[in-house]
Amino acid sequence: MLAIDPALQGKVEEALTLGFECFSAGDHDPFIVFAKDRGSGALIDLKTTDGAIDEALVDVGRHLIQEAFQSARFYVLVWDGYLTIDGQRQDAVFAEAGRTGGNTGFLFAQRYMQTKRGKISKVGKPLLVAEVPHLWLKSFRHPRRHDGLEPPSYRDAACHRLAQAARAVYDAHRSDIEQKKKAGRRHWKASDFIWEALLISAATLGNSRGSQLVKKEEFHSRVRWDALAKLSKNRRLTVLKRTLREASVRMPDIKAERLARNFQLIERRGSPETVKKDLVNTKGRNAKIAFLKQFEGIGNKYSRNMMMDAYHVDFLDSIAIDRRIRDILATIGKKDLTNYQKIESFLIDSARIAGIEPWELDRVLYSWKDEILKHLCQVLPAIQR
């Protein structure tokens, strides 16, 4: 965690105390405090016309902070919810805060409990729970579409919740993500890119442990294009089956047969270089997806992932959806999202809220799923009355 500015921490503690007093008295409306170093500030109660208090109301507060009162020095958004630590859920007052000129926002929580006599009592001191996106940073401000409308998921609390977790994990692994971009550019430059991309797809479909097919030279050397091109059709299939089995690739025989037929398709079209040129000359993301789907075993996910592995400019706004991502969506209550395009749109919105590329979000969710889930489960921002 970064060091907290003492002045900001003071404003947070004041806001948490005010929230504790209000919520203890039965007033559970979230509120925003805009403050200066000295003198006047502003306090805004967040209410709906029907009196409902939910996560969407907190998101409205974030939107107000982004759009207004940037002449203030501090903002603090306060709501009543639950804090979950090590599987134990506790009542807590939350305060999401930031200061002018800061690069990081902070989420604090003051735990409390009801005593046997029915009174509300604080539990311990305020906790710094997480670093979150700074609401006054331009990179966090949610971009509007060309028609001036907000993206569909902007007011979806789950979308914001995922964005906060993703931004925290992204910041912790930024250098690793930059290395993935560099590796992707090298991958794209290879003349046999198309064959290598098909190998990676076959190796990881269903279980990523099969990636050793291309990571370990003892396996990779046998299935490179140049090595297989020297073999007869039958011998090539035999080598593919044996190598995929030894590399612990899931469904090795089925995938070996697909790869063998894809090899023949590339041969009929000339060479891997020829096919790559055809891919390059195919204009636009959707057309490239359709082009790649002509290969056996390549569907919605891998037609995107093949190009995302190359950090291709046409696929920076893409998400390759797999079981890991569906597990994360289930954690934030999005089991109802089943359509591929709708899931991708939701995740793209979340990436933009977090101020990162959708490509970066995809890599974060795939590479650091456990850290994402830890962030998501650490703070359960459920609103209670």
In the structure encoding, which two tokens stand for residue 175, read together? 């250098």
Q: What is the CA radius of gyration of the chain?
A: 25
Rounded to 10°, the helix 193-204/174-189 angle is 130
**How confident is the prediction along the chain (385 residues), in pLDDT tens digits per residue?**
456 888 889 999 999 999 999 988 888 889 999 887 665 678 899 988 777 777 778 878 888 887 766 667 899 999 998 887 766 778 899 999 998 888 788 889 999 988 777 788 899 999 888 777 788 875 444 444 333 334 444 446 678 788 888 988 999 999 999 999 999 999 999 999 999 999 999 999 988 889 999 999 999 999 999 999 999 999 999 999 999 999 999 999 999 999 999 999 999 999 999 999 999 999 999 999 999 999 999 999 999 999 999 999 999 998 988 888 989 998 888 877 778 888 998 899 888 888 889 999 999 999 999 999 988 876 544 444 3
Q: Are 329 and 349 in contact, with CB atoms under 8 Å apart?
A: no
Helix/strand/coil for 318: coil
Q: How far is Cα 128 from Cα 217, in angstroms, rounded to an integer?
A: 46
**Residue 185's pLDDT is what?**
94
Q: Are 262 and 295 in contact, with CB atoms under 8 Å apart?
A: yes
**Residue 62's pLDDT is what?**
84
Domain segments of the chain as ranges:
6-141
**Residue 14's pLDDT is what?**
92
| First-to-final CA distance of the chain | 31
**Residue 146's pLDDT is what?**
35
Nearest to 211 by CA among 197, 194, 228, 225: 197
**Residue 173's pLDDT is what?**
94
Residues 6 or more apart whose CB falls under 8 angstroms from that of 53 comprise: 28, 29, 30, 383, 385
**Residue 50's pLDDT is what?**
77
Predicted structure pTM score: 0.64
* 3-state secondary structure string across 74-105: EEEEEEEEEEEECCEEEEEEEEEEEECCCCCE
